[in-house]
């Protein structure tokens, strides 16, 4: 049986839902034990949250001042040491900016290859993952005699629910020398009262057809009516209409909301890669031949500057 360790992703003392999505993947692998590792300056609150996730058997914490910020160079030696000390068969982390930064370093320290973007489990060491911007899915098999290091495509898994029981939380003592060549300078991020784009159940995105940053106000208005997050195509981001943290697609955020509304987005393959796991896709575009309509569940052809305000008013 497998013994799996998941590196918790967190920010400002709160656990990211991507960790619970990794737990769902771990359940598919058929783990005998699913443990979560929390690295932080003060991990108590984060660990308590992780302990309530259904399927988690134990939460391990490493409290060090150096862990106040998620620096990959600092986290990696500690994670590698924890894997070796615990005798784990698998190490997982979300395929987010956090996981893509930390896990390759850990894999290098462990001397193993990494399986990236796990989207389905075929066996304890066999998985499916997307390639070519999601145009093809391949099956990969990793050596069974090595620790499997993998990032989980969070859009492919629902978050494991908070269970009725609480897993034990234990402090982990590990010996790991931390590098001094990396230091935290600052974290700059946009503040918004809207839901987080990565985990929102509803998302409204705008494209280059909006024409300006000011015109994006109609996207914000519709999103606010729906209680939705706001996203954008790469073209809209490159044009300077919105900041790049709102970009959805292959080089932006990969999301899987229940409802995705694409306004003035033509549907380039790079954008479609980011929304392929969405529940219902609604497209509003004046070009009836736009590629977005090939994947949309509901399509509305017309002038977005007329249709979107009408839809907002109706809501």
DSSP string, 132-197: TTTTEEEEEE--TTS-EEEEE-GGGSPPPPBPSS---EEE-----PPPSS-----------SSPPT
Whole-Å CA distances, 66 to 18, 37, 75, 93: 23, 16, 9, 20
The per-residue pLDDT for range 94-131, each reduced to its tens digit, is 999 899 999 999 999 999 999 999 999 999 999 999 88
Among 132-146, 171-185, 294-308, top mean pLDDT goes to 294-308
The per-residue pLDDT for range 254-284, each reduced to its tens digit, is 899 999 999 999 999 889 989 988 999 999 9
The whole-model pTM stands at 0.83
Q: Are 200 and 229 in contact (CB under 8 A)?
A: yes
pLDDT confidence bin for 85, thresholds 50/70/90: very high
The domains of the chain, with CATH numbers, are: 2-171 (3.40.50.620), 202-314 (3.40.50.1220)
pLDDT value for 1: 64
pLDDT value for 164: 73
The per-residue pLDDT for range 203-239, each reduced to its tens digit, is 999 999 999 999 999 999 999 999 999 999 999 999 9
Q: Are 308 and 222 in contact (CB under 8 A)?
A: yes
pLDDT value for 193: 77
282 SS3 class:
strand
Whole-Å CA distances, 193 to 91, 170, 190: 34, 35, 10
pLDDT confidence bin for 195, thresholds 50/70/90: confident
Within 10 Å of residue 314's Cβ, how many Cβ atoms? 7
């Amino acid at each position: 049986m497998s013994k799996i360790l998941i590196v918790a992703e967190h920010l400002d003392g709160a656990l990211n839902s991507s960790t619970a999505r990794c737990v769902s993947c771990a359940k598919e692998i058929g783990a005998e034990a699913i443990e979560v590792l929390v690295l932080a300056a003060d991990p108590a609150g984060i660990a308590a949250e992780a302990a309530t996730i259904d399927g988690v058997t134990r939460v391990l914490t490493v409290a060090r001042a150096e862990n106040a910020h998620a620096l990959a160079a600092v986290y990696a030696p500690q994670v590698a040491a924890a894997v070796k000390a615990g005798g784990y068969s698998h190490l997982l982390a979300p395929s987010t900016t956090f996981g893509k930064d930390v896990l390759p370093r850990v894999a290098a320290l462990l001397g193993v290859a990494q399986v990236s973007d796990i989207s389905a489990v075929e066996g304890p060491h066999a998985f499916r993952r997307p390639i070519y911007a999601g145009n093809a899915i391949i099956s990969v098999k990793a050596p069974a005699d090595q620790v499997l290091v993998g990032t989980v495509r969070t859009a492919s898994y629902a978050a494991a629910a908070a269970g009725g029981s609480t897993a034990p939380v234990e402090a982990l003592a590990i010996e790991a020398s931390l590098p001094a060549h990396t230091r935290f300078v600052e974290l700059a991020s946009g503040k918004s009262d809207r839901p987080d784009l990565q985990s929102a159940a509803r998302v409204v995105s705008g494209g280059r057809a909006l024409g300006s940053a000011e015109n994006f106000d109609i996207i914000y208005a519709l999103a606010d009516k729906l209680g939705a997050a706001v996203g954008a195509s790469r073209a809209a981001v490159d044009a300077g209409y919105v900041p790049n943290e709102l970009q959805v697609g292959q080089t932006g955020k990969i999301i899987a909301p229940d409802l995705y509304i694409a306004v003035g987005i033509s549907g380039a393959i790079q954008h479609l890669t980011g929304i392929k796991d969405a529940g219902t896709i609604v497209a509003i575009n004046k070009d009836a031949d736009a590629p977005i309509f090939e994947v949309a569940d509901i399509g509305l052809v017309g002038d977005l500057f007329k249709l979107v305000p009408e839809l907002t008013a109706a809501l």
